[in-house]
Structure 1
Amino acid sequence: MEEQDMTRLPNEVVEIYRQPPPGEVVEQYSRPLPGVPRREAQSAVPSKQARRKHSKKGLWIFLGCAALAAVLAAAAVFWDWSVPRHNRIDPFDFDFDYRDSGEDRGSQEIAIPAWPAGQGCSLPVVQEHGPSLTAQEVYRQVNPAVAVVLADLGDGSASVGTGVIFSQDGYLITNYHVVEGGQECTVALDSGRSYEAKYVAGDADSDLAVLKVEGQDLPAAVFGDSDLLTVGDKVYAIGNPLGVELRGTLTDGIVSAIDRDVEVEDRTMTLLQTNAALNSGNSGGPLINEYGQVVGINTIKMTSRYSNIEGLGFAIPSAYMERIVNDLLTFGSLQPEPVLGITVLQMAEQVEPDVWGIEVQSVTENSPAGKAGVQEGDYVLSAGGRDINSSRDLLRVRRQHHLGDELPMTLWRDGEIIEITLSLTEPAA
């Protein structure tokens, strides 16, 4: 009997703690329906005292109200599935119809007034950091640089997301899908100040866009190196979940996975995974490490029509983002990455006392590495003046170079140190 009870126990637990269907949750916590006065919903159910005094009459009132509640519930479910989820704003309070900036509107041109690229600004990503901060300290340090990004789509509706200022003269990063199709753009800070934003450049595949507001001495976030993260590290997110009403919301969690390949609209993005709560409206907002440095830009959350999904959010890593944003700032578009022409082991090995390098597994014929004389079995000690302790280090160096650049490389071969230079003339596939 005990074994039979144990086999039934998991089903019983799941049944008891199963989350209600999405429609019921939305009905319970939804904002007032369009056209329904707020106080009507508040007075829909008679009080217990009234039911005691007029039990029979109260029963009919209760049944009538129950029928009305059922009609309103059906309307709420219909409204829930017919109105885009992202940034669903109370229609009584705002002039715009806020749309889901992540919904599939098809590829649309960005007509936001332009700001020229090539003005000398760059996104610095630092490896140094100070001591660990409390959640309160992280919020005080980063939140002033977090902005509401509102893109007017030109048809009476708008897309709203989050952005991060990274320079005191007003450059900020957000997701491309937040401003896609935008005609005008407004950026609002926690201080209460708002600015007209200009569009610098963006890249749809990497889902990044750079905006510029005209200001001086603006609060700017520090960007840290996502390559230094490990699974289990503490992280925070700040953004505007479900729209401007909840702007400046702080959530926390950990790094759940690193270099997670996620399929997003027929393209693969390599992202950081976190269980910090992300919702529609967090798009373009910062993922922050325990030192108060931005290590990622939040971009998507796993969702399902058929079950509740929690704790599956994803961010674009700062190490990957650094090259893209700097290309956008400098050239106004993403430049092709060069190819090296070698495959290497993931981690470095010790080849001599105090000498570490990653082993070359293969060399592509007539590639920059092949032409420079790299051989299978060589160990890469450094590239571009940076020590190479992992394949990620080498990838980071490659991302910092462009076609036509010269890349110095130090190799170890059979006890000998060799200096070579790769001419990066071929684009990566």
Structure 2
Amino acid sequence: MDNNRYDNVKDTSWKKVESGKAKIKFISSKRRSNMVKAGKVFCFILIAAVSGGLSGAYISSRREVTKIYTPNNDQILVEPKEKANNARTENTSENSITEAAEAVSPAVVGISNKAENYFGLQDLNSGSGIIVDSNGYIVTNYHVIQGADKVMVKLSSGKVLDASVAGVDERSDLAVIKVNAKNLPIARLGDSSKIKVGDIAIAIGNSLGEEFPGSVTAGIISALNRKIEYNGVVYKVIQTDAAMSPGNSGGPLCDIQGDVIGINSLKLSADSNVDGVGFAITINEAKNIIKSLIKNGQISRPELGISGESVISQDNKIQGIYIQQVEKNSGASEAGIKPTDILIELDGSKVNNMSDMEDILQQHRVGEKVKGKIWRNGRIIEAYITLSQIR
């Protein structure tokens, strides 16, 4: 908008009054004085209103958009920073956290793992779960139901139901259980690839067991793509400082919109002085596993059929996986791979450790052939390995 738009506008607020030959009727001085005062007040209010209105309209129009002209004289309208900043502030308000928690909490359940012993059914473990299908399918951590003789589910309404195990995947620490119920509230699964460090993170679950159902804690995303090794398996997880306890295992980690971005699984607790470090399996990694467990009760995951550890030569020229064991009837065995071989390359990519190998295998399916390079007694050997199904 042109800053000089008002420069040439004539002031029509006042008009010159010329004296004329009109009869003048005198009134009392007191009445005349009051009328003069009232007139002055009215004129002052009128001038203030007009000036304020014009100024407000001008400022409002200035704040509404900013005009930028490109070299081709194309006009671009840009939202003012003040307005954008206010929107961001509103999105991260406490009310937003409340709304997100209210949206997800109905789909969060408590899970009791019971085992039979000499004294009858006893509580073995407890955790949380997320309803992902209105017909009663619930995702949780494998370790929450591991070794259970009976699994009980407590809905957010307080109703307690028996659950059966639909499928488990020990490797990913995920499991799906099912209750006999219909029209259950479900959680909305988000896209964990879109989250950023510093985003709001909300953890919901039965902290410290059934005595604290539906506990809500909030923090931020502390780190992405963390690789945590647990019981010989490498997990790619989200790190958050949202407070967690063992009872949160299997519950959701949500973003500010109330979308599930992770499944709370591991907590760094080796050092009692460490706090504010929690981990969640990314929902993008979990989605296909959940679908497969619901449909098939198991996961079809490819493997070479080897186990080993990362090694590097003293001259740093050879680095890879030193193969300690080769499974019988596996793709590696049929390709002629032997213990003491060193796997240095797979599918055209260098392999420095087991995590590298797993990343490559995730891009393939059972039954596919991949080319591998083996270092054996000073020679490089090529081998074509048919991927078998992990057991």
* Class of the TM-score when normalised by the shorter of the 2 chains: 0.5 to 0.7
Cα shift at 1:138: 0.8
For 2:225, the equivalent position in structure 1 comes to 259
User: 1:330 Cα deviation (Å)?
Assistant: 2.4
Report deviation, 1:400.
Answer: 8.2
Partner of 1:249: 215
Mapped to 2, the partners of 1:179 and 1:258 lie a distance apart of: 27
TM-score normalised over the length of structure 2: 0.54
Q: Which residue is 1:147 aligned to?
A: 109
| In structure 2, C-alpha distance between the alignment counterparts of 1:338 and 1:184, rounded to whole Å | 32
User: What secondary structure is seen at the aligned counterpart in 2 of 1:147?
Assistant: strand
Bigger strand share: 2
Deviation at 1:194, TM superposition (A): 1.5
1:416-427 equivalent positions in 2, closer than 5 A: 426=387
Q: Which residue of structure 1 aligns with residue 365 of structure 2?
A: 402
- From 176, 185, 190, the equivalent of 2:142 is 176
Query: What CA RMSD, in Å, does the superposition of the two structures yield over aligned residues?
Result: 3.3
Q: CA deviation at 1:135?
A: 1.1
Q: Distance in 2 between matches of 1:217 and 1:171?
A: 11
Asked if the contact 1:323–1:400 (Cα under 8 Å) also holds between the matched residues in 2, the reply is no
Q: CA deviation at 1:338?
A: 8.0
CA distance in 2, matches of 1:199, 1:299: 18
Please state how far the C-alpha of 1:402 moved relative to its aligned partner.
Answer: 3.5
Contact 1:170–1:212 under 8 Å retained in 2? yes
Change (3 A) 1:223 1:405: farther
Query: Shift of residue 401 of structure 1?
Result: 6.6
Query: How far apart, CA to CA, are the structure 1 residues paired with 2:293 and 2:182?
Result: 21
Secondary structure of the residue aligned to 2:178 is: strand
CA contact (8 A) 1:165 1:221 kept: yes
Distance 1:405 1:321 in 2: 23
Given that 1:202 and 1:210 are in contact with CA atoms closer than 8 Å, whether structure 2 keeps it comes out as yes
Pick from 141, 150, 160 the counterpart of residue 126 of structure 2: 160
Deviation at 1:158, TM superposition (A): 2.6
State the AA in 1 paired with 2:269.
Answer: T
Match of 1:137, SS state, is helix
Match of 1:236 among 176, 179, 202: 202
Letter in 2 for 1:135: I
SS of the aligned residue for 1:311 comes to: coil
- Pairing partner for 2:242 from 246, 267, 276: 276
Paired amino acid for 2:273 = N
Deviation at 1:182, TM superposition (A): 0.3
CA distance in 2, matches of 1:157, 1:140: 29
Q: More relative contact order in 1 or in 2 (CA 8 Å, sep 6+)?
A: 1
8 Å contact from structure 2 (residues 300, 389) kept in 1: no
How many Å separate the matches in 2 of 1:334 and 1:247?
A: 31
Q: 3-state DSSP class of the match of 1:245?
A: coil
Structure-2 change in CA distance of 1:229 and 1:337 (3 Å): farther
Distance in structure 2 (CA, Å) of the matches to 1:292 and 1:402: 33
C-alpha distance in 2 between matches for 1:244 and 1:175:
16
CA contact (8 A) 2:115 2:123 kept: yes
1:295 is aligned to 261
Q: Following the alignment from structure 1 to structure 2, what is the Cα–Cα distance between the partners of residues 338 and 320?
A: 18
Kindly tell me: are residues 231 and 290 of structure 1, through their superposed partners in 2, closer, same or farther at Cα, counting changes over 3 Å?
A: same
What is the CA distance between 1:144 and its match in structure 2? 0.4
> What SS class does the counterpart of residue 208 from structure 2 fall into?
coil
- Deviation for aligned residue 1:336: 1.8
Give the SS at the match of 2:138.
strand
Instruction: Establish whether residue 135 from structure 1 lines up as the match of residue 97 from structure 2.
Output: yes
TM-score after normalising by structure 1: 0.50
Q: CA deviation at 1:150?
A: 0.6
Distance 1:138 1:243 in 2: 22
User: Secondary structure, in 3 states, of the residue corresponding to 1:327?
Assistant: helix
How big is each residue's C-alpha offset from its partner over 1:50-106, in whole Å with a ceiling of 9 and x where there is no partner? xxxxxxxxxxxxxxxxxxxxxxxxxxxxxxxxxxxxxxxxxxxxxxxxxxxxxxxxx
User: In 2, Cα distance between the equivalents of 1:428 and 1:217?
Assistant: 36
Q: What amino acid sits opposite 1:150 in the alignment?
A: S
Q: Among residues 283, 289, 293, which one is paired with 1:328 in the alignment?
A: 293
1:294 shift after superposition: 0.7
| Aligned counterparts of 1:250 and 1:198: Cα–Cα separation in 2 | 27
1:363-420 Cα deviation digits (max 9, x unpaired) = x78x5xx8xxxx9xxxxxxxxxxxxxxxxxxx79x858733589xxxxxxxxxxxxxx
Contact residue 197 and residue 213 of structure 1 kept, 8 A: yes
Shift in CA distance, 143/400, structure 1 to aligned 2, threshold 3 Å: farther
Q: CA deviation at 1:425?
A: 6.3
Runs of 4+ in 1 over 4 A off after TM superposition: 398-401
**Structure 1 CA distance for aligned equivalents of residues 204 and 270 of structure 2:** 23
The residue type equivalent to 1:144 in the other structure is P
Q: Does 1:315 align with 2:280?
A: yes
Structure 1: stretches of 5+ with no match in the other structure: 1-130, 340-363, 376-394, 407-423
Instruction: Report sequence identity in percent.
Output: 37
**Partner secondary structure for residue 295 of structure 2:** helix
The unaligned stretches of length 5 or more in structure 2 are 1-90, 305-344, 350-358, 370-384
Q: Secondary structure at the match of 2:193?
A: helix
Q: Distance in 2 between matches of 1:138 and 1:161?
A: 21
